Structure 1
């Protein structure tokens, strides 16, 4: 007699079922409503197909559309699968490669037989995808023997799939999903059938080029992007967000406000214009005041360091391909010590500041009484990002971090991390980001350090967040397995902007590895040498990227204290030119960034132009205002005007222009 399987359900009940029973069978036994709603299952925590037979005793949780995270991942995975089937139906001979789900949709890379795909192909592909969805083709999981699957792909002319299958580790279970006559190698899971997708809940968005395996030495492929959701309402909301995001694009606004530009002569670096650099300086000055008040000591470290230093720190093995490296030519007859791993001496532009801060810490003897030491640097770093990844201010090669490293004793760690979180909270509130999530990134598979170290470090970060009262759902508290740095776990801080997008910005990481590798120590109360714990932390991340986020969050309409130009005195008639000059002089004397506009143009033209430049306050002056000593204040985005005496207007604007930390 075949032994029955014991399946534990979330309500604590246990059902005995025969081997081969599927989660769909169990859903049907509970009730017809659940049978219809269930789209997948979690078996011992693993997301699986609703039709995949159960093989052993297990815990089972049925997944429905209410489990939005899982449901969206499944739907997007299926949309990618349907996209591949549609393309091969319409363009026979096209090879399929990879097709993952993304944060808001999916994409698939293809090797077309005749020509690269273009955006003009998308409507026909969308129509074929809807036909496949309407056909309600079952998505059937099959397990294949490795050599047989490789032979199948080669027989069908799928050389990319054959290459991929041949490189998977021996002993791996190779799974294929079948929909009608279409096959795709995939780990799954999938929905039970294509008809489970809403045919009105997806849209193909664009076509781009992509290299096989992301390597420019490999074949060029056509990548088709799409966005996919559970229903049309979600899709429409997303498309509205995309429209709003396009309006807020920091590159366009940066041009309209004359803040910065990029050009090919300095790929991945920013040319800051005077107005843009005012914004930078105001942000930097604000951060410096916050750090000074929090007990940080600011330092400045070299851009160029010997590669041996990076090898000793461990960064050379991890980041070498992303570092800008130059030879260090030693004059004949001079000896500069042993060369790096037997190679010629090399120097590297720093991709991060942490090793240099350890070298400062090592200068002189440190006592346990000296800790914590909070060392900050607005450090310019360089990383050799691929050309195709560069994107305005958001992804650059040269950037300035609001970096700091805190050297602490073990007994100080929780309190110091909690203080950092409170500081970060004040900064985000001041900059207009009241909503952010806190996530704990846990140990990755490849890492330095002992298991005991990782256990302690991860728990210390949990305790610090709990101490601030923020380890709650309201703060999006979540743990992320495998997402930590190679040397330490970290807390990540994800901002939510004005249109609901999230940005991972701030971080703090515990590190016991780098102080060991670079021989940092302090003298303890017992008179012996001890290793400090090093906290790597940033609030903004990088000035470039954070300013890009600020631009898009505020749509260029910065609070008055950050605005590059805070006020413009615009004349209605030339008779008011002298008064406009007086207004600007008094505004500047009060510390406000003001400019005159006495051009021979109509006032409506001036209003439109300064609105496009996002000037917060337009002070309109004519004969009456000049005679009465008043100004008519027109706020950005508002139709009404407020008439005040010049002195009252200056008092009001000066108060608004005071940075939050100085109020």
Structure 2
């Protein structure tokens, strides 16, 4: 018999070789019908894989992230089976689950896949799913695996096998399809009830543009049709809200090949939004006791060797420039520069916490295939700050940073969020992470306790910490339910030691401070991309590039329009006049498309009564108002960031 421990603390005994699915059935048949996979001693397994020793068990269903990931990876295999039937001789590279759905990269030879093929593949997948074929796991020797794919002439799988150790290789089969795969998979194809293949793209083998271009097919599946229908509605709405589309239509930003990939040119409208975000950040940080600093865009190699970024982060940095026998790097992060500012003058415990902030410009060499609009760029402007504090001050400072996040969420109407506590992987100490196991444990516990005590929703993820300490990645959801990574809040126990930072404590002894790295608004690039999609381009008045547009009915009222414009500009409102020779209906429609919050129609009646007829974006005509009353109302709305 083996002992199985459940998340609620209960321990039950089962026969050796039992499976998670069998355990679920022993609890209830209804539960067994929902189980997609299982977490056994922290590792995700097939629900049908035998358990031969005492284990901690968590049953995974569709409501669990790992359950969905297993479901989508299994769907990728189902799609591959359908592709083999329609495209004999196809060769497959990799088919992972992604945030929403899955893809599979494949070599179709000289053939091309079309939209019509996608619909045919969906039908074939539905037929195969109904067969409820089990996903069977089989351990195989490396020599047998190589022989299998040699016989198929599949150079892609042979390449994958080169880096795998004998004794760690598994095949998975379902129906007529077999693939090299570590798994896990759902019990059988019958769990897949609703299927949509969403797109076809090109993808270089291994992401290297020197290699062959493969065909990448994207898809998504669900355990019922209702969830697929809801997802497709959201997908259509997301297309309308795509920040790349809106960014162009609203004149927010542009890119140019002569400038370079991933390097954003901010248009006047985008620059207004940047300035308003900076204004908000500066006001908030000044009230919270931060001091502002400015640092250079480049630094000598030694700075990044000392910080540890070059050993751990070199692949994401631009190559060095050599001048006068020295190597200089474009700044990929602000923290080493800020450490030098802290160290420029002696500090005592009376100077702590020492908070310095900067909207710092950083440069990161993201791979070409990973660049994506404003979300993945090579030049970024970061709402960065560093807090130097003692261990006794850490809890209060870390909580204050989290409170700042919550304040911003309220301002921007972000209702759904979660803090992802990213931890180190003990097996990668000295490789991916600073080799300080005691400090890792201590600081991770500090962060965890703050999150628990403050009641902030959070999840823990192993192996995603920064190289110098644990961090919180802030996940937020837009108005239509799309997930974004907004920003980060990190604890650093390594760099203060590397830079020899210290302060004189109450006992008149030198003490090393803890450092909190935080960026509540992330970068201009990513946050404005999020806001474009969150608001569908209809920014709140305080953030809108153009806050009001005056629409004179004819040239007769141009002088009155100018008078209204002067009143609004004196009050600090961003306003312009539409003086085109167009009918008022067209002016209104065009201004709606520009997503300007307020339209002020002026004609004979408005001029006579010293009023404006007010139209609100998305609401239409809200009636005539006295100019002074409208000015007071819009100024109050702007100042309070409603």
TM-score bracket, normalised by the shorter chain, equals over 0.9
Structure 2 runs not aligned, ≥5 long: none
Q: 1:121 to 1:16 in 2, by over 3 A?
A: closer
CA distance in 2, matches of 1:311, 1:287: 31
Q: Offset of 1:541 from its aligned partner?
A: 1.0
- Do the aligned partners of 1:449 and 1:487 also contact (CA within 8 Å) in 2? no
- Do the aligned partners of 2:6 and 2:57 also contact (CA within 8 Å) in 1? yes
Q: 1:304 to 1:96 in 2, by over 3 A?
A: same
CA distances 1:500-532 after superposition (whole Å, capped 9, x unpaired): 122221321111211111222222233332222
Q: Secondary structure at the match of 1:106?
A: strand
Give the counterpart of 1:249 among 236, 242, 255.
Answer: 242
Q: 1:49 to 1:272 in 2, by over 3 A?
A: closer
Q: Offset of 1:647 from its aligned partner?
A: 1.2
Q: Offset of 1:217 from its aligned partner?
A: 3.2
- Aligned pairs for 1:161-180 (under 5 A) are 161-172=157-168, 174-180=169-175
Give the counterpart of 1:104 among 66, 89, 100.
Answer: 100
1:219 aligns with 2:212: yes
CA distance in 1, matches of 2:18, 2:389: 56
Q: Offset of 1:32 from its aligned partner?
A: 4.7
Q: 1:270 to 1:63 in 2, by over 3 A?
A: closer
Q: Offset of 1:21 from its aligned partner?
A: 4.1
Q: Offset of 1:113 from its aligned partner?
A: 2.5
Q: 1:636 to 1:182 in 2, by over 3 A?
A: same
Which residue of structure 1 lines up, in the alignment, with residue 201 of structure 2? 208
Which residue of structure 1 lines up, in the alignment, with residue 409 of structure 2? 428
Which residue of structure 2 lines up, in the alignment, with residue 301 of structure 1? 295
- Aligned pairs for 1:620-659 (under 5 A) are 620-659=601-640
Structure 1 runs not aligned, ≥5 long: 331-343
- Do the aligned partners of 1:298 and 1:376 also contact (CA within 8 Å) in 2? yes
CA distance in 2, matches of 1:391, 1:561: 27
Which residue of structure 2 lines up, in the alignment, with residue 88 of structure 1? 84
Give the counterpart of 2:252 among 244, 254, 259.
Answer: 259
Q: 1:578 to 1:117 in 2, by over 3 A?
A: same
CA distances 1:382-440 after superposition (whole Å, capped 9, x unpaired): 11112222222211111110100111112111111111111222122122224321221
CA distance in 1, matches of 2:415, 2:186: 38
1:411 aligns with 2:403: no
Q: 1:236 to 1:588 in 2, by over 3 A?
A: same
1:496 aligns with 2:477: yes
Q: 1:532 to 1:621 in 2, by over 3 A?
A: same
- Aligned pairs for 1:171-570 (under 5 A) are 171-172=167-168, 174-198=169-193, 201-266=194-259, 267-330=261-324, 345-444=326-425, 445=428, 446-467=432-453, 469-471=454-456, 475=457, 477-570=458-551
CA distance in 1, matches of 2:93, 2:70: 19
1:131 aligns with 2:105: no
Give the CA RMSD over aligned residues.
Answer: 2.1
CA distance in 1, matches of 2:380, 2:21: 52
CA distance in 2, matches of 1:95, 1:113: 9
CA distances 1:7-50 after superposition (whole Å, capped 9, x unpaired): 56678463443x44444445555555455454444444543333
> Which range moves more in the overlay, 236-245 or 25-34?
25-34
Q: Secondary structure at the match of 2:522?
A: strand
The total of aligned residue pairs comes to 635
Q: 1:516 to 1:552 in 2, by over 3 A?
A: same
Which residue of structure 2 lines up, in the alignment, with residue 157 of structure 1? 153
Which residue of structure 2 lines up, in the alignment, with residue 48 of structure 1? 45
Q: Secondary structure at the match of 1:325?
A: coil
| TM-score between both structures, scaled by the size of structure 1 | 0.91
CA distance in 2, matches of 1:326, 1:470: 45
Q: Offset of 1:101 from its aligned partner?
A: 0.9
CA distance in 1, matches of 2:101, 2:133: 21
Q: 1:26 to 1:535 in 2, by over 3 A?
A: closer
Q: 1:280 to 1:6 in 2, by over 3 A?
A: closer
- Do the aligned partners of 1:632 and 1:644 also contact (CA within 8 Å) in 2? yes
CA distance in 2, matches of 1:580, 1:290: 36
Q: Offset of 1:134 from its aligned partner?
A: 2.6
CA distances 1:154-204 after superposition (whole Å, capped 9, x unpaired): 1121221122122113442x1111223321111222223222321xx1211
CA distance in 1, matches of 2:64, 2:292: 45
Q: 1:534 to 1:195 in 2, by over 3 A?
A: same
Q: Offset of 1:127 from its aligned partner?
A: 2.2
Q: Secondary structure at the match of 2:376?
A: coil
CA distance in 1, matches of 2:500, 2:207: 38
Q: 1:277 to 1:170 in 2, by over 3 A?
A: same
- Do the aligned partners of 1:104 and 1:228 also contact (CA within 8 Å) in 2? no
CA distance in 1, matches of 2:14, 2:501: 60
Q: Secondary structure at the match of 2:515?
A: strand
Q: 1:179 to 1:464 in 2, by over 3 A?
A: closer
